[in-house]
Amino acid sequence: MCDACLIENIKSSMLSRRSLFTGAAATTAAVVAAGLTTAKPALAQAAGRVVDLTHAYDGAFPTFDGNPGILYEPAVKFEGNGYQLWKLTIFEHTGTHIDAPLHFSADGTSVADLAPEQLICPLCIIDVTAKAAEDPNAMVEPADIEAWVSANGAIPAGSCVAMNSGWGAKVASPDFRNTADGKLAFPGFSKAATDMLAGLDVASIGVDTLSLDPGNSADFAVHFSWLPGGRFGIENLANLDQLPATGATIFIGAPKHKTGTGGPARIMAVV
Amino acid sequence: MCDACLIENIKSSMLSRRSLFTGAAATTAAVVAAGLTTAKPALAQAAGRVVDLTHAYDGAFPTFDGNPGILYEPAVKFEGNGYQLWKLTIFEHTGTHIDAPLHFSADGTSVADLAPEQLICPLCIIDVTAKAAEDPNAMVEPADIEAWVSANGAIPAGSCVAMNSGWGAKVASPDFRNTADGKLAFPGFSKAATDMLAGLDVASIGVDTLSLDPGNSADFAVHFSWLPGGRFGIENLANLDQLPATGATIFIGAPKHKTGTGGPARIMAVV
């Protein structure tokens, strides 16, 4: 339903206020005549769809340091109360989550202060599954961005650019952290690539792995340059393979706790 | 930028795959000729806008029981490390947050299992500011829904229906909990109203107050009927006065921790 609703809403937003209200009045008259009927869900009529880019998570979800990222303690139990809720202990950088500029800067933008206009934006997906299958520490390089633009057109300013390395499908396996050699091994961005994206005024980058930098990074060059530059990142994205390289709009449901350096987020896309 | 992107994306989704790809190829050729140029941000060209319906929150944010809903503890300090993050203790029903069916049922749907299609949907806003100014425990009644439909047309199935009582503007004041008489006093929904909304197949209800039920509720009738019925709620919404009664699309960024009864969410609207 949602996508068709978006279609209708966007159509409305493109009308002048006057014509919108005139149209609404006519619609209202017809609806009132029909009584309190339920409008037909519109999704069935639409070509679009919603894709959830968020992994469900609990204490077993893989983390960078290998420790549980969330702990549960009952705050109110259902039995005897008729309702229930959890007291949660959450390390901010757990699950599908945001890295705010403040994560890697002393006084950068907190997750609560990200501009809402950066949280609903075009999503550009760079597929590096082929080279990631050959090299687990493969990186998105400038050449990958150039190839993407050649195939798909310019990257709109304010976009989110996400790496699809195929890692999202490994999330329930030890292959996600991939420490068989004693060190983390998974794909990420190269600093040369994120420098290029900064020059294109991209607002955020996303990865389907545990870190913006590849698993074998010794210097966290992307974290230490991209985030202090006032831009943000998203880690552990899911289902990127269900979207086209371009054409989707991403909704980045960043948490809004004050002074947050990031946190578990709800990320979805409409295409 | 975002709304115009939505416009373009939705237009694309309405094209056939064949015509979409044909168009993309033509666009690509032009862009490649122009090199790695940044596309002009589209928001400036759009009539639409993003409205953030989420309050920023910390331990001072008002809660139903009066206790802090979030506690912060440094997990990694910036000094000496070059990065930082918090260990957070969060009681699920804090800030702008979701009440999942599991909050008031033994085995209802958890917040992680809400259907993504219910999280991006039309937003219908019922304004009860006038009667809430007279009676702090005012309720959305069936007559308010009927009046809304008369003025705005049918409520689409799968919508989110939100109460704007004017309470959002009080959030930094003791008037938000409003316990001058020793008891909580703020507006909410009546059970008769939410029964009517359930009959219209509304997916969720939202309030700009601390509870779906009014502050003086003795029986939490809405919580005990709406949530076990498999529908969800949103509490402490912000900025509803910045949106029209109808025509906005809400993005409900519900958290996705497994077995969650709800939790702090990022809620935004596009109109």
Interface ipTM: 0.86
- Chain segment B57-92, per-residue pLDDT in tens: 999 999 999 999 999 999 999 999 999 999 999 999
| B139 touches B167 (CB < 8 A) | no
Amino acid present at B85: L
CB contact (8 A) between residue B48 and residue A13? yes
Nearest to B241 by CA among B187, B164, B170, B175: B164
* Residue appearing with tokens 């979800």: A61
- Average pLDDT, whole number, for chain B? 87
Residue B40 above 80 pLDDT? no
> In whole angstroms, how far apart are CA A27 and each of A7, A24, A36?
17, 5, 13
Q: Which two tokens stand for residue A149?
A: 């633009």
What pTM did the predictor assign?
0.86
Residue B24 above 70 pLDDT? no
pLDDT at B206: 99
Report the residue of chain A nearest B21, measured CA to CA.
A152
Q: Domain spans of chain A?
A: 3-39, 50-65+93-270
pLDDT at A48: 67
Residue of A67, A85, A110, A261 to mutate for B, most B C-beta atoms under 10 A: A85
The partner residue sitting opposite A106, judged by closest CB among B36, B78, B146, is B78
pLDDT at B10: 35
* Residue appearing with tokens 């930094």: B172
Q: Which two tokens stand for residue A68?
A: 């549980």
* Residue appearing with tokens 């798909």: A152
Compute the average pLDDT of residues B233-253.
Answer: 97
Q: Which CATH number fits domain A50-65+93-270: 3.50.30.50, 3.90.1300.10, 3.40.50.300, 3.30.1600.10?
A: 3.50.30.50
Rounded Cα gap, residues B271 and B254, in angstroms: 20
Question: Per-residue confidence of chain A (271 residues) as pLDDT tens digits?
Answer: 344 444 444 334 333 322 332 333 333 333 333 334 333 333 222 346 999 999 999 999 999 999 999 999 999 999 999 999 999 999 999 999 999 999 999 999 999 999 999 999 999 999 999 999 999 999 999 999 999 999 999 999 999 999 999 999 999 999 999 999 899 999 999 999 999 999 999 999 999 999 999 999 999 999 999 999 999 999 999 999 999 999 999 999 999 999 999 999 999 999 9
How far away is chain B from the Cα of A250, in angstroms, using its nearest Cα? 9
The partner residue sitting opposite A255, judged by closest CB among B259, B261, B266, is B266
